[in-house]
A and B are shown apart, each in its own frame.
Chain A
Amino acid sequence: MYPFEGLFSLLVLSMVLETQALTPTHHLTTTDVARLQAVLSQPFTDLKSAYYSVVGLSKLGILVADADETCQFIKSNLDPSSVESLFYAAEASQALSGCEIPVSNDTRDLLLATVSEDSTASQIHQSVSALSSLGLPLASQEVVSALKARISKEDNVLTIILALQTASRLSQQAELGDILEEIEDLAARLDDLSGVYLQFEEGLETTALFVSAAYALSDHVDMEPPLKEDQVIQLVNSIFSKKSWDSLSEAFSVASAAESLSNNRFHVPVIVSAQGPAAISHSQPFLRLQVTDVLCQPLSSASVLVESASTSSSKSAILSQAPFTLRDEVFELNFMASQPASGYYQFSVAIAGDSRFVANHVELKVKVSTRVAINNMDLSVVDKDQSTGPKTTRVEYPTKAKAPFMADSHQNFAMAFQLVDETTGVELTPHQTFVRLHNQKTGQEVVFVAEPDSKNLYKFELDTTERKTEFDSISGTYALYLMMGDATLENPILWNVADVVLKFLDEEAPSTIQAKTLYTPKPEIQHLFREPEKKPPTVVSNAFTALVLSPFLLLLILWVKLGANISNFTLSPSTFLFHIGHAAMLGLMYVYWTHLNMFQTMKYLAIIGSLTFLAGNRMLAQKAVKRYTYTQKARLTAHKAGPQTKKLSKEPLAPISKNLFFLGATE
């Protein structure tokens, strides 16, 4: 079995060397482990919390302080008639040394009886674990069949995890193949969050319990769990991303997951972190790395190797296959011995030594910083028309030039210098090289940038006429400073090089510079409210309202003249109802205009409208019948009277209908 496994892991390693594997983004630091320990060391109140504390601490490799007192507590809180209580007591006493729980025949029978298809997975797990911890015999095959029956009935994640845990306590001769396959099915159920995390939707505790159960069972049957390297790292990220735990059970699950990931036979995730910032300089030439497992225990058996170290920009390798030396559980490498130029380097580090290591290729960014020196600082005043030669003065850092330099409108002030690495003498181009001129009297300051030419020689020229706007044409003595800085420089520089007296033409009357009033209260903004639109005078509006309403009078007059009347008003309930309903609808329109919104109106309209409709329908039907009978009678009389009265048939509806329509025409 071992050679096969060796081949397997070799295959995995070779695959790793080809692919870019994940590295853990979240892991427990020593403070986190200490916090976990503190959570688990809280004084316990009942048997369940005692179990979590004692067993959790034993997973972290810590023994409980007062073993005897704890043992007494467990024995006194044990309830022999409850399987759960027996489970907690048995497991906790197993973790303590020299703590024996007395077992009676009834207890044993109770535990054996719980192993059946009818108990829940949790009960089966508790009874099997209790039997195993108390050293009582159990029938493994029965347990297996009970577990299989339970899994087929309840397919949820927690049931299967408990089945895995239970199976790891059974004898190796039992048929655990089917249960072992569940690990793969469960792994498929994990949710991949943006390629970084892998967890169950049930949460952190379930994911952690899954990890500890899967590795417990895999170790028990000595078969590698079907989890890929990347999956293991993603699980590490999920489980160890939370640094403070809500409950004791959550802390316990994280502790047991951490223990199984550091101690199993197949996968051991490696955590590599630089001690302090990953920065090297002449004073600090060693790059120090801490290589630990997930419980922050150093992996002393590992050998750490730099596979390649190259600059971030050029990708040319400075180092190749250089080993780290182990000192006090920290791996260090003297990188300055290879005399790297200052800048950023990309390190590719490999950790070998154990075939179980997972994520043992790490990419690190290392900064090499250096000290800068200023050479050949030459200050000169040059005539613009170049009639006289430049007067150059050399100034040494950090002294200041003795005499101030004078420059007026006919002259330029120039500065040239070189920046080199103090130790190697290589020319440097830092990110920030500024020349600052500060007027002593007015407090004004102007900053310029000094640029290097092709030979990395920095030059700065000040033309007083050209730059007079920046200075506001204020003549006077300016102190000249050189400011220099960079991320890779250890000694940023602020050097008062010289004093420069500048004279500007067309000088305005020396106005005092007002300090920029950035933080004083500004003038208050008066808000201009929107002007309401100009309305016409009320007289005009009233006049036109009267004009618009006047045709109604005309209408009434015309109708009276035409002889419209309501003489044909039938007195029946439907007519009254119709007219009342109709009036109500018109009233509703008015109320809609003043108070209601569309929805309320529609509601009321529906009610009133349907009533009016029914009444109106009835009324009009009656009218129709009346009209029809009248026309029939008219035709009959006409027929009897003869052809002269034919004219009547032309207008049969005249007397009735005009009244009918008057009723409608009041709209």
Chain B
Amino acid sequence: MSNSVFSVISRFVEEYRSSTPNKLKVIDAYLLYILLTGVFQFLYCVLVGTFPFNSFLSGFIACVGSFILAVCLRIQINPQNKRDFLTVSPERAFADFLFAHTVLHLVVVNFVG
């Protein structure tokens, strides 16, 4: 059982390394960073306590929000999805990403206290 799982994983990793374009890998690295940041924040909350609860919430929401926006960007840029996003050029996707991030930052900074 574990053998098949392991082989699936290694196959997946191989596939990923070869066929994903570099720009998507850059975004994936960014996604991993956001994920880890969120996980560590959550860990702190679970271990130590929720003392400034609003700060925890705003930090966590920032991570979640950024993750979602980066995923959207990745989807819109992926050339394999070009048919689904005929009206959205990569530059347009990036501009949307920046604008949505500005709004997210405004909300997060307001709430962090």
Q: Which residues of A contact B (CB under 8 A)?
A: 533-536, 540-541, 544, 547-548, 550-552, 554-555, 558-559, 562-564, 582, 585-586, 589, 592-593, 598, 601, 605, 609, 616-617, 620-621, 623-624, 627, 650-654, 657-658, 660-662, 664-665, 667
CB of A547 to closest CB in B, whole Å: 5
Give bound CA distance, A541 to B51, whole Å: 11
Residue contact A544 to B40, C-beta cutoff 8 Å: yes
| Chain B neighbourhood of A562, CB < 8 A | 22, 25-26, 29
B54 within 8 A of A: no
- In the complex with contacts A563-B22, A589-B109, A664-B94 CB distance below 8 A: yes
| Chain B neighbourhood of A585, CB < 8 A | 102
| Chain A neighbourhood of B21, CB < 8 A | 651, 653-654, 658
B44 within 8 A of A: yes
| Chain B neighbourhood of A593, CB < 8 A | 109, 112
| Chain A neighbourhood of B34, CB < 8 A | 551
Give bound CA distance, A5 to B43, whole Å: 101
Residue from B51, B89, B98 having most chain A Cβ neighbours under 10 A: B98
Task: Specify the chain A residue showing the minimal Cβ separation from B80.
Answer: A650
Main secondary structure of the interface of A (DSSP, over half): helix
Give bound CA distance, A534 to B50, whole Å: 11
CB of B67 to closest CB in A, whole Å: 12
| Chain A neighbourhood of B49, CB < 8 A | 536
Show 14 A/B contacts (Cβ-Cβ < 8 Å), sorted by A. A552-B37, A554-B36, A582-B98, A586-B105, A589-B106, A609-B102, A620-B92, A624-B91, A627-B90, A652-B79, A660-B23, A660-B94, A661-B26, A667-B101
Give bound CA distance, A515 to B51, whole Å: 52
Residue contact A661 to B105, C-beta cutoff 8 Å: no
CB of B55 to closest CB in A, whole Å: 11
Q: Contacts A548-B41, A660-B94, A661-B27 known; list 14 others, CB within 8 Å.
A: A547-B43, A548-B37, A551-B40, A552-B33, A554-B33, A564-B26, A586-B105, A592-B109, A592-B110, A605-B106, A624-B89, A627-B90, A660-B90, A661-B77
| Chain B neighbourhood of A665, CB < 8 A | 26-27, 30
Which residue in A540, A550, A616, A657 is a CB contact (below 8 Å) of B98?
Answer: A616
CB of B71 to closest CB in A, whole Å: 13
- Proximity bits, B71-108, A CB within 8 Å = 1, else 0: 00100010100000000011110110110011001100
CB of B12 to closest CB in A, whole Å: 18
Q: Which of B15-53 contact A (CB under 8 A)?
A: 21-23, 25-27, 29-30, 32-34, 36-37, 40-41, 43-44, 48-49, 51
User: Interface size (B, Cβ < 8 Å)?
Assistant: 39
Residue contact B110 to A598, C-beta cutoff 8 Å: yes
Give bound CA distance, A533 to B54, whole Å: 14
- In the complex with contacts A658-B26, A667-B101, A544-B89 CB distance below 8 A: no
Give bound CA distance, A159 to B30, whole Å: 85
| Chain B neighbourhood of A554, CB < 8 A | 32-33, 36
Residue from B49, B92, B106 having most chain A Cβ neighbours under 10 A: B106
Give bound CA distance, A253 to B22, whole Å: 98
Residue contact B48 to A540, C-beta cutoff 8 Å: yes
Residue contact A657 to B106, C-beta cutoff 8 Å: no
| Chain A neighbourhood of B106, CB < 8 A | 589, 592, 601, 605
Residue contact A667 to B79, C-beta cutoff 8 Å: no
Residue contact B33 to A658, C-beta cutoff 8 Å: no
Give bound CA distance, A544 to B106, whole Å: 24
| Chain B neighbourhood of A582, CB < 8 A | 98
Give bound CA distance, A624 to B79, whole Å: 15
Residue contact A667 to B66, C-beta cutoff 8 Å: yes
Residue contact B105 to A621, C-beta cutoff 8 Å: no
| Chain B neighbourhood of A555, CB < 8 A | 29-30, 32-33
Which residue in B29, B41, B89 is a CB contact (below 8 Å) of A559?
Answer: B29
| Chain B neighbourhood of A540, CB < 8 A | 48
Task: Specify the chain A residue showing the minimal Cβ separation from B39.
Answer: A551
Residue contact A620 to B91, C-beta cutoff 8 Å: yes
Residue contact A664 to B32, C-beta cutoff 8 Å: no
- In the complex with contacts A562-B29, A585-B102, A667-B66, A616-B22 CB distance below 8 A: no
CB of B107 to closest CB in A, whole Å: 10
